[in-house]
Amino acid sequence: MSPQLSDYLAPNWSSLLPVFAAVILLPILRALWCAFYNLFLHPLAKFPGPLTASLSEWWEIYHTIKSLKGDRFNVIQKLHEKHGPVVRIGPNQVSISSPETFHHVFVTKCSSFTKSDFYATIQPGIGPKYAGLFNYTDHKRAMAERRDLQPMFSPASLRQYEARYANQLRELVVAMKATDEVDMFKLFKYLLLDTIGDLSFDRSFDQLKSGEDHQYVIDFNNAFMLIGLRVFSYSQAQVKQYLDQDASKKRGTLMSGFLDPETGLPKDGYSPWSIAISGHGFIIAGSEASSITLTYMLWLLIKHPAMEKRLRDELKTLPQKYSSVDLAKLPYLDAIVRETLRVYSPAPSPMPRVVPQTGFTLEGVEYPPNVSCFLYKFATDVCIRTVS
Ligand code: HEM
């Protein structure tokens, strides 16, 4: 019998088998192999932690979303209480709560531990061209930029900035006296952002004067969880104006570390774009943590009048005309700043760093190369929960 048209149209199931295998079976087999590898063969297989976390990245994604309600900190704390100082929280990630390891990673061997890819998710745009000092994973570049900025953070430079800062402080006092009730968190945020704008680009945001959020802040708050391109465009505009100024105006600002001291133009290796990226990082890094710390410090002093009195007594010992050098010598003030930072860390995120190619061993734990170490400041502080 000769073949009918329907014979040609009817699917030939056996010839489709390889396609099914490719589309359905292969991904399943791949997922099974990955799960098997992550559970039994991965260099982190011997580390304790939730089973679901070692299987895939989904555990991390789930808790990142839930962390918007503060869930992640409790989860991490409980995991450390259960499993000890090193817990596997992803196929290639561990959370570490040991203060010694914290010190090793961030201080002793800081230059060997690069920032992890996590930092690429907090850039103002996608791709390496949006990476700056705050989120470089390119370590060489980060070290070069840090070296150029180091003189801008020397004690002598910080003393130079005092005059600029004093102007902002005067504005703060005016703003505080203007009404009976003040929102100090808001005013501290204005103070620090106005100051960092002035220190970075020789241009204050003038929020203490205007009493209103600058458009940059409004955009920043709206865009924080998204890609902050509009926020970055503000930094670009500031850098353009800053670079167009006379060279003398640029001296005594943080950004001058990126400029040739003679010409006032970007040094080799820098461009208006790269300076704007770093400026963007400075505005965020320099304002948030400091204003949060000042707010908690003030709040703690209000809650503990005996401490407030002791601090006032210490401040009375200052000479009539004092500087930051005199303030730095006050032990009680120093203790209060440190204790505020310890108990109410303004930088509670994990700050993940990648284990170098050589791996490392500390406190009897062998960390394999390329593993992401999540180091939460709060997790290292065993006393934190006892302080009200
Ligand atoms: C209470 C005040 C502050 C605290 C607690 C604080 C804390 C931190 C922490 C924990 C990091 C590391 C973040 C990470 O790696 O994920 C960091 C980085 C940074 N901070 Fe601050 N910060 C403060 C004030 C400032 C100020 C005033 C400035 C600028 C004037 C600043 C500029 C930076 C920069 C540029 C970085 C990136 C540095 C690098 O990786 O090379 N910070 N800060």
Closest atom of ligand 1 to 115 CA is: 15
372, containing H or E segment:
strand 372-374
Query: What is the rounded average pLDDT of the residues 142-158?
Result: 91
Whether residue 318 sits in one domain with residue 169:
yes
The pLDDT-based confidence of 65 (bands split at 50, 70, 90) is confident
Q: Which of the two residues, 206 and 286, has the higher pLDDT score? A: 206
pLDDT at 238: 84
Q: Return the minimum-mean-pLDDT range out of 24-38, 333-347, 374-388.
A: 374-388
pLDDT at residue 10, rounded to an integer: 63
pLDDT level of residue 385 (50, 70, 90 thresholds) = very low
Ligand 1, atom 12, lies closest to the CA of: 351
Contact (Cβ atoms closer than 8 angstroms) between residue 371 and residue 94: yes
Please tell me whether residues 222 and 296 are part of one structural domain: yes
CA of 286 to the centre of ligand 1 (A): 7
CB atoms within 10 A of CB 132: 25
Residue-number span of the structural domain to which 91 is assigned: 39-116+352-386
- Ligand 1 geometric centre to CA of 377 (Å): 14
- Are 174 and 231 in a shared domain? yes
Q: Looking at ligand 1, which atom is closest to the CA of residue 341?
A: 5
pLDDT tens column, 10-50: 667 677 777 777 788 888 889 899 999 999 999 999 999 99
Confidence of residue 151 (pLDDT cuts 50, 70, 90): very high
Of the candidates 105, 99, 71, 64, which has an alpha carbon nearest to the alpha carbon of residue 85?
99
Helices H / strands E in the chain, number of each: 19, 7
Q: Which residue owns the Cα nearest ligand 1 atom 36?
A: 134
Evaluate whether residue 21 is within a structural domain.
no
Supply the residue whose CA is at minimum distance from atom 19 of ligand 1.
285
Q: Reply yes or no on whether the pLDDT at 161 is more than 60.
A: yes
Same domain, 76 and 177: no
For residue 134, the ligand 1 atom closest to its alpha carbon is: 37
Report which of residues 234 and 141 the model is more confident about. 141
User: Above 70 in pLDDT, residue 348?
Assistant: yes
- Band of residue 388 on the pLDDT scale cut at 50, 70, 90: very low
First to last CA, the chain: 90
Please say if the pLDDT value at position 278 is more than 60: yes
Give the mutation target among 105, 134, 188, 351 for probing the ligand 1 site: most ligand atoms within 8 A of CB. Answer: 134
For residue 310, pLDDT over 70 is answered with yes
Q: Which two tokens stand for residue 31?
A: 């997922």
| Statement to judge: residues 201 and 152 lie in one domain | yes
| Boundary residue ending a domain (311, 326, 343) | 343
Lowest average pLDDT, out of 94-103, 188-197, 237-246, goes to 237-246
- Does position 387 have pLDDT exceeding 60, yes or no? no
Indicate which atom in ligand 1 lies nearest the CA of residue 287: 27
What pLDDT does 317 receive? 97
Average pLDDT taken over every residue of the chain: 87
Provide the pLDDT confidence category of residue 8 given band limits of 50, 70 and 90. Answer: low
Which residues does ligand 1 sit against, CB inside 6 Å? 133-134, 142, 146, 196, 281-282, 285-286, 289-290, 293, 341, 346-347, 351
Does residue 286 share a domain with residue 174?
yes
Instruction: Assess whether pLDDT exceeds 70 at residue 9.
Output: no
Alpha-carbon dihedral of residues 72, 74, 78, 80, nearest 10 degrees? 60
C-alpha 290/C-alpha 168 separation (Å) is 14
Number of domains making up the chain: 2
217 membership: H or E segment, kind and range: helix 215-223
Give 290 Cα–ligand 1 centroid separation in angstroms: 9
Is a pLDDT exceeding 60 seen at residue 382? no
Residue 14 lies in a domain: no
What is the reported pLDDT for 347?
84
Mean pLDDT across the stretch 50-55?
Answer: 93
Distance of alpha carbon 222 from alpha carbon 226, whole angstroms: 8
Taking the centre of ligand 1 as the mean of its atom positions, its distance from the CA of residue 217, in whole angstroms, is: 19
Residues 6+ apart with CB under 8 A from 359: 366, 367, 368, 369
In this predicted structure, the answer to whether residue 63 has a pLDDT above a threshold of 60 is yes
Q: Same domain, yes or no, for 235 and 313?
A: yes
pLDDT reported for residue 237: 85
> Which token pair is 336?
């209060």
Other Cβ atoms less than 10 A from the Cβ of 150: the count is: 11
Q: How confident is the model at residue 210 (pLDDT cuts 50, 70, 90)?
A: very high
- The pLDDT-based confidence of 350 (bands split at 50, 70, 90) is confident
Task: Round to whole Å and give the CA distance between 196 and 281.
Answer: 11
Give whole-number Cα distances, 346 to 23, 338, 383, in Å: 48, 12, 17
Whether residue 376 is found in the same domain as residue 290: no
CA angle 282, 276, 192 (to 5 degrees): 30
Predicted local confidence at residue 229, as pLDDT: 63
Instruction: Kindly tell me if the per-residue pLDDT of 160 is higher than 50.
Output: yes
* Residue 261 domain flag: yes
Q: For residue 196, is it within any domain?
A: yes
CATH number for the domain spanning 186: value is 1.10.630.10
Return the residue whose CA atom lies nearest to atom 20 of ligand 1. 285
| Mean predicted confidence (pLDDT) in 349-374 | 93
